[in-house]
Amino acid sequence: MKYNSTTDKNNVVSASQAIAQGIASDGGLFVPQEIPMYTLSDIEEMTKMDYVGRAKKILADYLDDFSADEIDECVTKAYASEKFGSNNPAPLSYQKYDDIDINVLELWHGPTSAFKDMALQILPHLLTKSLAKTAPNKEAVILVATSGDTGKAALEGFKDAAGTKIMVFYPVDGVSPMQKRQMTTQEGENVSVCAIRGNFDDAQTGVKKIFTDKALIDKLAENDYLFSSANSINWGRLLPQIVYYFSAYAELVNDEKIALGDKINVVVPTGNFGNILASYYAFRMGLPINKFICASNANNVLTDFISSGTYDKNRSFYATISPSMDILVSSNLERFLYHMTNENDKKVKEWMTSLKTTGSYSVDDETAEKIKTLFVGGFCDDEKTKETIDEFFNKYGYLCDTHTAVAVNVYKNYVETTGDRTPVVLDSTASPYKFSGSVLEAIANGETIPEDEFAMVDLLSSKTNTEVPKPLAALKDKQIRFTNVVNADEMPQFVLKTLGVE
Ligand SMILES: *Cc1c(COP(=O)(O)O)cnc(C)c1O
């Protein structure tokens, strides 16, 4: 199976090239040229497999230049039970909110307590194998700009991965205290972490500049290094996310919540549109999905896009209590548009160019209608998010984080307005302990909240009678290793200095 760029169909590469390169040379994103189709009996087969078995099947169908042994090794290492606490890294938790049944898909049992682990635990394995096939004898330098969760998950995934070095840049005042602590204490010989004076966009722009800095690229090449990317535009991050939708469906069948062939709705707290796009690929592969419910926080650019067909990032940016969804340019929407226009690379290029130059674009009426028949958008602000955390916990006994709460609130409104009671899979994307301060504020009824992050974590645990994830608890005793802070324009020098290339 080959992959081509969303903005140039003639730009065609193999699976391993798509993963090694990350982004297409014309600036587009790689998409598969065919989408494998599963029948209900294929899905029935999956009900008898464990998560690793399901992942092997799906990855093998997309990565045809990987051998079965290679895929086996990647999947088995990534989803080992030591890493995710059990042999099901993506368990369902059956909850009720008012009289609404919510099947919560908990995607945060990995080493960094956020759903990014589902992809970033396997990406390093896929990437090192892809590099060995396409650029042997080179060492990969992975650069990551992060608003918190991606950086830590990438560090943890790439730590001591042979043939790689990883550097993470984060905005000095733009991440939660726990997220900062997670990154600055990171272990591993091949990792470095650097704070940027500026916001997330400054860090992201800095990384993008480095990726296209010819002089810098050449200097690295002389020393047998090449740049690569671990952010969610890489196909190697999207593909592993398709697996948990099939897995959740198989579990619902096994637990007799649905019958094989029944439709489900999915609800996804969305930022970059990667997670919800993975569910759309699952649908195209034959998973019976009725509606995709796209939940946003106050940065509701996607809600407006789904209802109007116009994407407009010229609007205020809000720093919310669900920071991993504070985003105005959802990169993976580009892949979705490519598929929704029946693979029209010209249109996608036109819209993406308009987005870059004017900050907005409008899709044609036909595409807008098509999107609306499948997708529903909704959003909620911080107040509603906290109310939802409070009610879901204090009335119904389930503790969730701020991102998940946005999804719960949007879903509850959806059911109330439409009456659609199709069984649901609702993604829970982070452990509440990653955002202890906001979660405590939501459930504490005015009680004083300690300032120290670990005191907050302990209070949350004693108040809710839930367990602190072990990797978060362990941070308290870890030494801070990285204290660098630089201006965004000093990032190239930081890279060279870290590599010992002057
Ligand atoms: C990254 C992230 C999201 C958004 O996921 P996308 O794939 O970017 O839409 C939601 N919640 C949490 C906790 C995240 O870390």
Please tell me the residue having the least CA distance from ligand 1 atom 11. Answer: 429
Measured from the CA of 270, which atom of ligand 1 is nearest? 9
Question: For residue 269, which atom of ligand 1 is closest to its CA?
Answer: 10
The verdict on 327 and 468 lying in the same domain is no
Q: Are residues 325 and 443 in the same domain?
A: no
Pair type for strands 424-428 and 100-106:
parallel
Q: Are residues 407 and 325 in the same domain?
A: yes
Q: Tell me the HSE value of 284 on the side-chain side, using a 13 A CA sphere.
A: 16
Q: Is the CB of 432 under 6 A from ligand 1?
A: no
Out of 56, 116, 129, 384, pick the active-site residue. 116
Tokens, residue 337: 């548009």
Domain membership of residue 389 (yes or no) is yes
Tell me which residue has its CA closest to atom 8 in ligand 1.
Answer: 272
Cα 200 to averaged position of ligand 1 atoms, centre (Å): 15
Domain identity same for 277 and 401:
yes
Quickly list H helices, 359-490: 365-374, 382-394, 402-418, 436-443, 453-464, 470-474
Amino acid at the residue 27: G
Please tell me the distance between residue 432's alpha carbon and the centre of ligand 1 in angstroms: 14
Do 390 and 265 share a structural domain?
yes
Q: What pLDDT score does 106 carry?
A: 98
Burial class (CB in 10 A: 0-12, 13-18, 19+), 118: buried
- Ligand 1 centroid to Cα of residue 53, in Å, is 25
Is there a single domain that holds both residue 387 and residue 458?
Answer: no
321, 459: one domain:
no
Is residue 106 in a domain?
yes
Query: Is the CB–ligand 1 distance for residue 434 below 6 Å?
Result: no
Residue whose CA is closest, atom 2 of ligand 1? 324
User: Which residue among 123, 268, 270 has the greatest number of ligand 1 atoms within 8 angstroms of its CB, and so is best to mutate?
Assistant: 270
What is the reported pLDDT for 202? 83
Q: Closest ligand 1 atom, CA of 272?
A: 8
Rounded-to-integer distance, Cα 113 and Cα 107, Å: 8
pLDDT of residue 173: 84
Q: Does the CB atom of residue 403 touch ligand 1 within 6 A?
A: yes
CA dist., res. 333 & res. 478, Å (int): 39
Cβ of 336 closer than 6 Å to ligand 1, yes or no, is: no
CA 436-437-439 angle, 5° bins: 65
Residue nearest to atom 14 of ligand 1 (CA): 324
* One domain, residues 422 and 445: no
Report the number of distinct structural domains present in the chain. Answer: 2
**pLDDT score recorded for residue 23:** 85
**pLDDT given at position 247:** 98
| Ligand 1 proximity of 425 Cβ (cutoff 6 Å) | no
Tens digit of each residue's pLDDT, the chain (502 residues): 999 999 999 999 999 999 998 888 888 999 999 999 999 999 999 999 999 999 999 999 999 999 999 999 999 999 999 999 999 999 999 999 999 999 999 999 999 999 999 999 999 999 999 999 998 889 999 999 898 889 999 999 999 998 899 999 999 988 888 899 999 999 999 999 999 998 877 888 888 889 888 899 999 999 999 888 888 889 999 999 999 999 999 999 999 999 999 999 999 999 999 999 999 999 999 999 999 999 999 999 999 999 999 999 999 989 899 988 988 888 899 999 999 999 999 999 999 999 989 999 999 999 999 999 999 999 999 999 999 999 999 999 999 999 999 999 999 999 999 999 999 999 999 999 999 999 999 998 888 999 999 999 999 999 999 999 999 999 999 999 999 999 999 999 999 999 999 7
Note the pTM of the prediction, 2 decimals.
0.95
Q: Return d(Cα 123, Cα 182) in angstroms, integer.
A: 20
pLDDT of residue 269: 98
Q: What is the pLDDT of residue 22?
A: 86
Determine, yes or no, domain membership for 277: yes
Distance 269 CA to ligand 1 centre (A): 7
Active site (annotated) includes residue 2:
no
Do 425 and 449 lie in one domain? The reply is: no
Asked if the structure places residue 301 within a domain, the reply is yes
Residues 407 and 327 placed together within one structural domain of the fold: yes
The owner of tokens 């892809």 is 130
Residues 3 and 343: their CA atoms lie apart, in Å, by: 12
Q: Could you tell me if residue 192 is inside a domain?
A: no
137 C-alpha to center of ligand 1: Å? 34
Whether residues 331 and 356 fall in one domain: yes
Q: How far is the CA of 272 from the centre of ligand 1 (A)?
A: 7
What is d(CA 153, CA 273) in angstroms, rounded to the nearest whole number?
18
In ligand 1, the atom with minimum distance to the C-alpha of 241 is 7
C-alpha–C-alpha distance, residues 457 and 182, integer Å: 14
Pocket test for ligand 1, best of 115, 116, 144, 179 (most atoms within 8 A of CB): 115
* Burial group, residue 423, by CB count within 10 angstroms (0-12, 13-18, 19+): middle
Q: Which atom of ligand 1 is least distant from the CA of 278? A: 7
pLDDT for 228 equals 87
Residue 215 lies in a domain: no
Asked if 398 and 265 sit in the same domain, the reply is yes
**Which of 156, 325, 379 has the most ligand 1 atoms within 8 A of CB, as the residue to mutate?**
325
In short, whether 324's Cβ falls inside 6 Å of ligand 1 is: yes
In a domain? residue 175: no
The answer to whether position 251 is within a domain reads yes
Tell me, what CATH number does 262's domain have? 3.40.50.1100
- Show the domain range for 367: 90-114+243-434
Q: What pLDDT was estimated at residue 478? A: 94
From 403, 427, 431, mutation site for ligand 1 pocket: most ligand atoms within 8 A of C-beta: 403
